[in-house]
Chains A and B, each alone.
Chain A
């Protein structure tokens, strides 16, 4: 078996996933867009317009809430989409229908089949980020201040964040039964969203020290803070080195767990 065959086989799996994605593109986009769209509409358009502002507290003076939530909502869009992209179909494919079988029987190491899932999920996460960004930039009634301080930093954060999210999706998809998928969103996805420094910068959690420390186990914190450093550098944010380092560590750890889970589920 030459490496060329392995790469061609994996490319075949990517093409298959893209075919399925194209078929489900519209519902997928609706799912991706609905949450951030309603959030920015209510909190950054309706509230300021009717005179019920939501503040940012110390550190974000003058920049407004609409600016604070831009990086967070982009991060949530990416994470939510990447997790859904791999976890939802995978629970089915590994479940009663065993649809994964044909890819398990492809002449490729099982670990690579699992990694392909992460990569395709990451690509969908990036697309979701690109779709969410204009929404959260143009809808708010108050001005949004975004400028990219460093393109390499932005690209690195986006890549790592989407890979970490894809890996998290693989972990969830291989450890949850199809009947529990709704529960998984309630128990995992919703809490990491609300406690992911999406709607407030991490630095401001200093007012609640136990929470500030607790949320550090949440991968979304580093994605939001990383994007904050890249997109809204004038707002308080974690040092880019810290969020990048944590993202690398989490991508590796979640990737390892997810791949291991995949092999366990496919090899009896």
Chain B
């Protein structure tokens, strides 16, 4: 049994008000060495605060975080040697070029000039940034800046990488490019804690997922395990002009239907088999002004809705 790469136990953090805010209300998590672990939750769930404590920048109110067995609050300098961090916001050094951002990062980690320059060249090639080496950091687009931030985060060869909403606000193409790079890092065996409110991101990149809301972890497991919890293999979303209890009762009485959730604009019907599921639902819903119908398999978003009754991007 290998020791945990990251062990979070009973972590709480309250911010003095007014109004006082409880950002973390007792978070417990274990990240194993070499895995990509996603912390999925809506904005304000406590993801960034969790990463802040793990990366020594936020003090916990109570609880402990151990990284490779090192207490983060007691030995921040030793922890900082082992971690790389990509923040949601662009924190590149605006007064420096792309090359200098990477080069001085290595110097801040105690590397000599020649080593730092060599590593910078390597990273510029790996992240396809060579033609931007002399560009000032402030001139970069959002996608490019995140790429430089990712290169900077791994420059000193950390054992664990924290990616806090790495693709928030990026265009789809830049997001895909960054996903590819993150998948590449996973192949190199680096442990990653990724926070995101995009369920596709958690689904696609991570080995395991924890769903977090209101400063608490609700559930942890592989994406497949979490989706199984939904207890249905087909979800039919109905957009209706009118909502009625009679309709809900009628749908729930259909044999392949497990449950019906009432949403703001319609119903979400959880069924077990696709064959024979759709026609009776359509027939029942037509008199209520059926405007749209979507059929999909359970997603992490479905899991979140089931756990909280809310949508991820509320």
Which A residues fall within an 8 A CB radius of B? Answer: 1, 4-6, 8-9, 11-13, 15-16, 19-20, 23, 89, 92, 97-109, 266-268
Question: Do A108 and B77 form a contact, CB below 8 Å, given A8-B112, A267-B58?
Answer: yes
CA distance A108 to B108 in the complex (A): 8
User: Could you tell me the distance in whole angstroms from the C-beta of B27 to the nearest C-beta in chain A?
Assistant: 16
A16 in contact with B87 (CB, 8 Å)? no
Hey, which chain A residues are within 8 Å of B208, CB to CB?
none
A106 in contact with B57 (CB, 8 Å)? no
Hey, which chain B residues are within 8 Å of A105, CB to CB?
55-57, 80, 83, 85
B93 in contact with A102 (CB, 8 Å)? yes
Hey, which chain A residues are within 8 Å of B246, CB to CB?
none
Hey, which chain A residues are within 8 Å of B78, CB to CB?
1, 107
Closest A residue to B85 by beta carbon equals A105
Question: Do A9 and B91 form a contact, CB below 8 Å, given A16-B96, A20-B96, A268-B52?
Answer: no
A23 in contact with B95 (CB, 8 Å)? yes
Is B104 at the interface (CB under 8 A from chain A)? Answer: yes
B89 in contact with A106 (CB, 8 Å)? no
Question: Do A16 and B91 form a contact, CB below 8 Å, given A1-B81, A11-B107, A108-B108?
Answer: no
B77 in contact with A102 (CB, 8 Å)? no
CA distance A210 to B96 in the complex (A): 49
CA distance A5 to B58 in the complex (A): 24
User: Could you tell me the distance in whole angstroms from the C-beta of B131 to the nearest C-beta in chain A?
Assistant: 21
Please give 16 more A-B residue pairs, beta carbons under 8 A apart, in addition to A8-B111, A16-B100, A268-B58. A5-B109, A9-B107, A12-B104, A12-B108, A13-B104, A15-B104, A16-B93, A20-B96, A97-B90, A98-B89, A102-B104, A103-B108, A105-B56, A107-B80, A107-B81, A268-B57
User: Could you tell me the distance in whole angstroms from the C-beta of A1 to the nearest C-beta in chain B?
Assistant: 6
Is B105 at the interface (CB under 8 A from chain A)? Answer: yes
Partner of A8, one of B56, B83, B110: B110
Hey, which chain A residues are within 8 Å of B90, CB to CB?
97
Question: Size band of the B side of the interface?
Answer: 20 to 34
Is B310 at the interface (CB under 8 A from chain A)? Answer: no
Hey, which chain A residues are within 8 Å of B105, CB to CB?
102
Hey, which chain A residues are within 8 Å of B101, CB to CB?
102
CA distance A9 to B92 in the complex (A): 18
CA distance A4 to B107 in the complex (A): 12
Hey, which chain B residues are within 8 Å of A89, CB to CB?
95
CA distance A59 to B262 in the complex (A): 91
Hey, which chain B residues are within 8 Å of A102, CB to CB?
91-93, 101, 104-105, 108, 152
CA distance A13 to B100 in the complex (A): 11
A15 in contact with B107 (CB, 8 Å)? yes
Hey, which chain A residues are within 8 Å of B85, CB to CB?
101, 105
CA distance A97 to B90 in the complex (A): 7
Partner of A99, one of B77, B80, B93, B108: B93
CA distance A109 to B79 in the complex (A): 11
User: Could you tell me the distance in whole angstroms from the C-beta of B196 to the nearest C-beta in chain A?
Assistant: 20
CA distance A89 to B201 in the complex (A): 36
Most chain B CB neighbours (cut-off 10 Å) among A9, A12, A100, A108: A12
